[in-house]
Amino acid sequence: MRRRFLSSMCGLAALALAGTSPLAQAQAWPAKPMLLIVPYAAGGPSDAIARMLAKKIGTQLGQPVIVDNRAGAGGTIGVAAMVKAAPDGYTFAFTGPGPLAGMPTLMKMPYAQTDYEYVTLAARVPSVIVVGSGSGISSLSDLIGKAKAAPGKLNYGSAGNGTTPHIGAELLKLEAGVDITHVPYKGAAPAVTALLGGEVQVAMVDVTPVLQHVKAGKLKALAVAGASRATQLPDVPTTREAGLPGVQMDTNYGFIAPKGVAPDVLKKMREAVATALQSDEIKEQFAKQGAVAVGSSPQEYAKLMAAEYDKWHAVVTRARITLD
């Protein structure tokens, strides 16, 4: 009798342990709210897109997706927080290429590429070169002419050292052969505010935070730094059309997770993102923000970031960019 009792208890213990296995966790996921870390300041382009997707994904999965902005150090602070989280499928990050491909060319990183999993790309946002409407600059050639006439006198704002707006503007300087002084801010939103206030004269930034200001006439878009014109700004030429084909700097945003999250959980999250991107609501919101929906496999995401690293490394080396 005692032997049968002990055998039964062992069986129950085994079932209890099975219930906490990665497979069981994946099957039950999500059973509580999820955290989505955005490693940039609130109000910026990544934050706006992340919140749209978080709401839609949370509705689909039946659990809230809470956005947590953790800005600083070119996005590395937020990604570092994400990689340190338990790999239980309840913490993800929504990030641009900076913390994954840009900052590794500039600093010793607080994490390695092996510390996170690529989940899926979600959006591509074209960069635009913009100036204040009262600047007297009406075209990209105009900007280049003024910069060459007064080296170092014009200032450009960025979302911070090592961010896409920083590297993109440095690429512009290299290709155009001009000297424009860098003024870093803590995020895209404050950089745009500085441009609106005249603290800086130019910025190369995602179209998302400047679109409304361009349409309102407060800012003037000189060129789109992408392969094609932005749907929302059909009259604005590309950098190729404006004579600088080497200035290409789209921003690709995607989801990553801590290393070790169950494959089934990653698959479910990837499918939830893909479904959200196909919804009419997200398509409409993206159109207003100037974003383009882009899904991918983890392998495609990783390959793109490897190419971005090579591109950013070349700019950093040529421009001799440091974080000092």
pLDDT computed for residue 2 by the predictor:
43
E strands in 17-163: 34-38, 65-69, 91-95, 116-125, 127-132, 155-158
Smallest CA-to-CA distance from 44 within 204, 189, 255, 195 is with 189
Query: Higher confidence at residue 44 or residue 264?
Result: 264
The string of DSSP codes covering 98-122 is IIIIIGGGTS--SS-GGGEEEEEEE
Query: Higher confidence at residue 3 or residue 90?
Result: 90
**pTM of this structure:** 0.86
Task: Work out the percent of the chain whose per-residue pLDDT is above 70.
Answer: 91
pLDDT computed for residue 227 by the predictor:
86
pLDDT digits (tens, 9 = 90+) for 126-144: 999 999 998 999 999 999 9
pLDDT computed for residue 322 by the predictor:
85
Smallest CA-to-CA distance from 304 within 258, 262, 259, 253 is with 253
pLDDT computed for residue 161 by the predictor:
84
**Residue 149 identity (one-letter amino acid):** A
Smallest CA-to-CA distance from 53 within 34, 73, 29, 25 is with 34
CB 256 within 8 A of CB 120: no
Report the mean per-residue pLDDT for the chain: 90
pLDDT computed for residue 11 by the predictor:
45
Q: How far apart are CA 257 and CA 303, in angstroms?
A: 17
Quick one: pLDDT band at residue 68, thresholds 50, 70, 90? very high
Mean pLDDT of 212-236: 94
Which distant-in-sequence residues (6+ apart) come within 8 Å of 259 by Cβ? 83, 87, 114, 115, 116, 117
**Residue 168 identity (one-letter amino acid):** G
Q: Count CA atoms closer than 13 A to 303's CA, side-chain side.
A: 5
**Beta-carbon count within 10 A of 263 CB:** 12
pLDDT digits (tens, 9 = 90+) for 5-55: 334 434 444 444 444 455 555 568 999 999 999 999 888 888 989 999 999
Q: How far apart are CA 313 and CA 319, in angstroms?
A: 10
Which distant-in-sequence residues (6+ apart) come within 8 Å of 60 by Cβ? 272, 275, 276
Task: Work out the percent of the chain whose per-residue pLDDT is above 90.
Answer: 78
Q: Count CA atoms closer than 13 A to 235's CA, side-chain side.
A: 5
**Beta-carbon count within 10 A of 87 CB:** 17
User: Could you tell me how far CA 142 lies from the centroid of its own chain?
Assistant: 30
pLDDT computed for residue 3 by the predictor:
45
In the structure encoding, which two tokens stand for residue 188, read together? 């895209």
